[in-house]
Structure 1
Amino acid sequence: MESNILLESGTGEVEILEFIIGGRRFAINIIKVKEVIDVEEGSVTKLPEVDPAVAGLILCRNEIITLVDLKYIIEKRKQAESYSKVIICEFNKLKVAFNIDSVVGVHRIKWEQILKPDDVSVNSLVIGNILIDKKIILMLDFEKIVTDISPQTGISEERIEGVEFKDRSSMKIALADDSALIRNLLKNTLTKAGFTNLKTFDDGKQLYDYLEGLANTKGDKFTDDVKLVITDVEMPQMDGHTLTRKIKEHPILRKLPVVIFSSLITDELKHKGESVGADGQLSKPEVGQLIELVDKLISE
């Protein structure tokens, strides 16, 4: 199964793949899914001295891919003895496999149908609750799962080595990301580079409401409060593409630079951000390049 990359951008819609682990229903944005495959018994190569959540290596189309034991992560029990069905995913410029029990199907829903979980702590693996046919489906934070296992794959101070530190306090930035982990990592890393005027939001709707309020009260002088937006794509209530489109269609806000900073930025998917008018697009976790782009856009 291949991801449907033809879904129009900025419509507020998303396609999710629903799957089951241990009798519970979970979801992933299908744009992250390259394919779902069956794994033959005995085909997983175990690795020595790795995180217990790493089941081993599998071979898919002549490519060696790390298999993460999603059942172990969710149920906190010992690793499975065998693996039958696996989701091959790609995000943050990585290919990772996750074992599941079975696939239910694909649903096209509105981002606003994805409700924020009550647990908004940094440690939560659930980034949204989806109600379909009176059943709750939990949308998992796959980036956090991988970052918890291998922190070097995420945003870190090491990734801003070579970036000139300077006082960037005048660069007032509004940042939207639904992941508390990513918000904190990104805020801390940007602060290390000299950005001290950062305002963070949990989702695109929160940020857009804030911007619209500034435009209504201050008009063109809204830039006294915010000079640039950095947004994730995947967010409950309003996704980053819809947020970007609404900003660029607004008679006052449209001159505000918007950078999409997402695990979903690939050569195949960049057209989505371009179609809604993004001024720049970068893949997580390249925060060094993000700082260079912000410097360029704000100085223009």
Structure 2
Amino acid sequence: MKENQGILLESGTNELEIIEFEINHNRYGINVIKVKEIIQPAAITPIPHAHPFVMGIIQLRGEVLPVVDIRKVLGAARQEKVPHQKFIVSEFNQQKIVFQVDNVSMIHRISWDQIEKPSQIYQNEASQVIGVIKRENEMLLLLDFEQILLEINPETGINVGMVKQLGKRERSSKKLLIAEDSPMLRKLLFDTLNEAGYDQIEFFENGKDAFEFLTSVDEADSEKRIEECIQLIITDIEMPQMDGHHFTKKVKEHPVFSKLPIIIFSSLITEDLKHKGNQVGADEQISKPQISELVQSIDRLAL
């Protein structure tokens, strides 16, 4: 698969492409935007005392990359022979990492509103599933690769220490709306933004719920009331029902909400993909986990 092949060119359509892969004949998915290429397995050099998920490292065109066994991540039983194993070379959170899977099947183009959020029965802060895709008589689980990376290396996540480096902060009365599907990241954002002085936060699990909150305000008095209840929006990109690009586009096209500043805060922000956020009118685009940069942007943009 060539780099970036098949990635949707138009922003704000609420569509994505999913690469389907297999573990023990069960089907899982990864957003194609995260994938640089798919290659045949290469020789792995083990690393002493590495995390149990990490098989070792490989060298790929001069770069040394860690290899993660998705089978171990999912707690799947080990098989003696897996004839079609593949390496998925990915990039997100400003890092490159390789995932070993049993097989890569196909690419699906779907809408985010076809992806159901996980049931609260099996979802928690450490859940590795961010969405369920129903396909005829089977289901495809969309995995939370940011959570997997965070479990391997907590330093890749958001932490309060980054905010403390900004110095003493005053308590702010600014009210923020945040659309973020990960329970773990909602908690981390709440803790770190509180440390930064922002404690008036409305959290939503996806862009659809967040936009419905905005539109639920009485249209006759909407401009005054929106300005009173929200001064800035922060949104992830990957979210079931409505992604961050589509959410941003709907807000910026609305006659009342269009003045609200929007920061896209996502692991998918790269120089190559920033044009997607620009097309839908985002005021800022910041890559996770750059929480200090996020706080400084909130300071500057909040109405």
Q: TM bucket by the smaller chain? A: over 0.9
2:16 is matched with which residue: 1, 14, 17? 14
SS at match of 1:75: coil
1:107 paired residue number: 108
Q: Distance in 2 between matches of 1:138 and 1:112?
A: 15
The percentage of counterpart residues that share the same residue type is: 44
In structure 2, the residue matched to 1:57 is 57
Deviation at 1:117, TM superposition (A): 1.1
The letter of the residue matching 2:163 is I
Partner of 2:150: 147
How far, CA to CA, are the matches of 1:215 and 1:247 in structure 2?
A: 16
Say which is worse superposed, 215-224 or 8-17, in terms of deviation: 215-224
Q: Secondary structure at the match of 1:71?
A: helix
In the TM superposition, what are the counterparts of 1:117-156 in structure 2 within 5 Å?
Answer: 117-118=118-119, 119-156=122-159
> Given that residues 8 and 17 in structure 2 are in contact (C-alpha distance below 8 angstroms), is that contact kept between their aligned partners in structure 1?
no
Q: Distance in 2 between matches of 1:276 and 1:190?
A: 25
Query: Does structure 2 conserve the Cα–Cα contact (< 8 Å) formed by 1:266 and 1:283?
Result: yes
Match of 1:227 among 227, 231, 255: 231
Query: What's the offset of the Cα at 1:59?
Result: 1.4
Which ranges in structure 2 are unaligned for 5 or more consecutive residues?
Answer: none
- 1:214 lines up with 2:217 in the alignment: yes
TM norm structure 2: 0.94
Give the 3-state SS of the residue equivalent to 2:107 in structure 1: strand
Cα distance in structure 2, aligned partners of 1:153 and 1:109: 29
Verify the 8 A CA contact 2:125 2:184 in the aligned structure 1. yes
- Describe the SS at the equivalent of 2:108: strand
Tell me whether 184-193 or 228-237 shows the greater mean CA deviation.
184-193
Q: Deviations over 1:35-64 (max 9, x none)?
A: 011014xx1000011111111001112211
Q: Could you list the per-position Cα deviations for residues 206-246 of structure 1 after superposition, in whole angstroms to 9, with x for gaps in the alignment?
A: 10000111262632111100000000000000000000000
- Structure 1: distance between partners of 2:219 and 2:123: 30
For 1:116, the equivalent position in structure 2 comes to: 117
- After the TM superposition, which residues 40-189 of structure 1 pair with which residues of structure 2 at under 5 Å, given as runs? 40=42, 43-75=43-75, 84-118=85-119, 119-189=122-192
Structure 1 SS opposite 2:173:
coil
Opposite residue 92 of structure 1, the aligned amino acid is N
Q: Distance in 1 between matches of 2:64 and 2:211?
A: 42
Amino acid at match of 2:275: H
Which of 18, 23, 26 is equivalent to 2:25? 23
Q: Structure 1: 5+ residue runs without aligned partners? A: none
Instruction: Find the counterpart in structure 1 of residue 261 from structure 2.
Output: 257
Instruction: Say if 1:182 and 1:79 are closer, same or farther in 2 by CA, change over 3 A.
Output: farther
Counterparts of 1:67 and 1:185 in 2: how far apart (Å)? 26
The size of the alignment, in residue pairs, is 297
Among 273, 276, 282, which residue is 1:278 paired with?
282
Q: CA deviation at 1:294?
A: 0.6
SS at match of 1:139: strand
